Copies of this chain bind each other. A is one copy, B any other.
Amino acid sequence: MDVVIIGGGAAGLKAASRIRRKDAEANITVVDAGKYVSLGRCGLPYYVGGIIHEIDNLRETTYGAVRDEDYFRRLKNIDVLTQTRAVEIDRNRKAVKIIRGESEDELNYDYLVLATGSVPSKPPIEGIDAEGVVTLTSAEDAEKIVELWEEGAEKAVIIGAGLIGLESAEALKNLDMDVTVIEMMNRVAPALLDREMANLVENHLREKEVKVLTSTRVERIITENDRVSAVVADGKEFAADVVVIATGVKPNTELAVNSGLKIGETGGIWVNSRMQTSDECIYAGGDCVETTHLVTGKKILAPFGDVANKHGRIIGENITGGDVQFPGVIGTSVFKIFDYTVASAGVNETSARDAGIDFMTVIVPCPDRAHYYPRTSYIRLKLIVERGTWKVIGAQAVGTGEVAKRIDVISAAIQNGMTIDQLSNLDLAYAPPYSPALDPVITAANVAMNKRDGLFDGINSFELKKMLESEDIVVLDVRSEDEFKERRIESEKVINIPILELRERLDEIPRDKKIVVVCAIGLRSFEALRTLKGAGYKDVMILEGGMAFWFD
């Protein structure tokens, strides 16, 4: 059996290795246009930022062997042809034309695997091809950025505040550069986060002295002698020695298109759940294909390293006589941005609305371990719950603590269709160094049940601001006097009654006005709201997430 694999990234090489493990005889050839194969590209920002010292670290095995051509030949009897371009597929003859340096050749296949990955999606603006304007998707890109820095580059502008953009911001800040991030949408990490969660990240970036501009459109790049000198956005000029274009990637489908394979509505190669393209002898996986979102049922692009690895395994399995299926994804993601971990799974408000889902949200800041245990951090967790079924369909979390754990657990819950009631009783591992007695995941489910059952109404920071401007409300801050002095909502409509004094001081709270209760994270507000309701107050709500979610 002859197998040709185009693309030596995660999907391609995982498929190759899987085939070899199951079939000792197959002839396996991997063709890749680049210099390196099997490069852990997700590690590139950490190479730029100096956290990882050698590019080669990104293509080593756990036991320190560099995964180069020799490694694949000797270890797995797989032929890897680097710096080799696959230029044409002849599906009738089952042959791939390749070009290597000056010479042209042809490879015959019984099965072909397209693992052609993605290419950066660059905006069509003036100056985009100037010296100093880079992307960060290849080893060469990373080396180029480091080279520019070594040559003295001091000011960086990053266009796009998605995952790669923000990781690049941290990397360049680590190099002590002056960093500005410009994002077209109204928030950072828009694919992952809703606005209030993104605000937390933006505040953290500012703490770390990264400038962030949202709702800002880049117009052009100014050059001097073909070198970038500034970026113009919303009419303003931002000086730049380096510009990182981080406006996303698009599937690399050129070969697939040219050979008449079906392309999906997203622009990715169409595959069935066995990862077969419209030609049953041609499989495809990784960044170049589209996949199914398990919450919305829609086709989406999921250009992630973990997904590519899973695709590769499934392709290898099916080519060697297996019959396994890839179910799809829910977009579970995580990234590190300075001291914060940011993660999400399932839908956010934007994607839920786009999918026509009727949903409810709760915001729950929680300690990530027993609050009395040293070095406890707060996680800010948001759940998105489908109304009616009360299934969890999305989650976002931001903070310095164990954020990734909670999103992974909720991700498993979403993929199993768990309701908030079921989530509330999930048996999770508790000990003071690892979790409060009720894990943030469970607390979030409990808060969601309280909201569903009408035990409280909540509003967010943006809504409260509008109310303060236009309505005759009372904001009841139930924190201690010290907490109140330190930071509070600045308005004459705010009164401070510490929670322990609330029952004794009810006469200070007007019965004829709308009352919004505020505390640090929402816990005391809920207690206060229940007390007020019990005392006959009708129109009471809380600021969800408390002062942790109040944006001045």
Chain A residues within CB distance 8 Å of chain B? 10, 20-22, 24-25, 40, 42-43, 46, 51-52, 57-58, 60-65, 71, 74-77, 294, 304-310, 313, 324, 326-327, 329-336, 341, 343, 345, 367, 370-374, 402, 404-405, 407-409, 411-413, 415-416, 418, 421-422, 424-435, 437-439, 442, 446, 455, 479-480, 483, 499-504, 519-521, 523-524, 526-527, 530-531, 533-535
Q: Is the CB of A438 within 8 A of B309?
A: yes
Q: Is the CB of A57 within 8 A of B372?
A: yes
Q: Is the CB of A42 within 8 A of B327?
A: no
Q: Is the CB of B372 within 8 A of A432?
A: no
A432 touches which one: B21, B43, B408, B519 (CB < 8 A)?
Answer: B43
Q: Given A20-B530, A429-B345, A429-B404: A418 and B416 within 8 A (CB)? A: yes
Q: Is the CB of B373 within 8 A of A46?
A: yes
Rounded to whole angstroms, the CA-CA distance of A10 and B331 in the bound complex is 37
A426 touches which one: B64, B411, B418, B430 (CB < 8 A)?
Answer: B411
Q: Given A412-B412, A425-B327, A427-B329: A43 and B336 within 8 A (CB)? A: no
Query: Other than the known A305-B437, A404-B405, what 19 A-B pairs have Cβ atoms closer than 8 Å?
Result: A40-B372, A43-B370, A43-B432, A46-B373, A51-B373, A60-B371, A65-B499, A306-B427, A306-B435, A306-B438, A310-B424, A313-B424, A332-B427, A336-B434, A402-B404, A404-B429, A404-B435, A408-B409, A408-B439
Distance of A305 from chain B, by nearest CB (Å): 4
Q: List 28 A-B contacts (CB under 8 A).
A: A20-B530, A21-B527, A24-B534, A40-B372, A42-B430, A42-B431, A42-B437, A43-B432, A46-B373, A46-B433, A52-B373, A52-B374, A62-B367, A62-B523, A63-B480, A63-B519, A63-B523, A65-B500, A75-B502, A306-B427, A334-B429, A334-B435, A336-B434, A345-B429, A402-B405, A408-B408, A411-B427, A415-B427
Q: Is the CB of B416 within 8 A of A310?
A: no
Rounded to whole angstroms, the CA-CA distance of A308 and B430 in the bound complex is 12
Q: Given A333-B429, A334-B430: A74 and B374 within 8 A (CB)? A: no
Q: Given A418-B416, A438-B309, A500-B74: A520 and B63 within 8 A (CB)? A: yes
Q: Is the CB of B40 within 8 A of A434?
A: no
Q: Given A62-B371, A330-B427: A437 and B500 within 8 A (CB)? A: no
Q: Given A429-B404, A499-B75, A535-B24: A372 and B58 within 8 A (CB)? A: yes
Q: Is the CB of B412 within 8 A of A426?
A: yes
Rounded to whole angstroms, the CA-CA distance of A533 and B294 in the bound complex is 39
Q: Given A408-B405, A409-B408: A372 and B60 within 8 A (CB)? A: yes
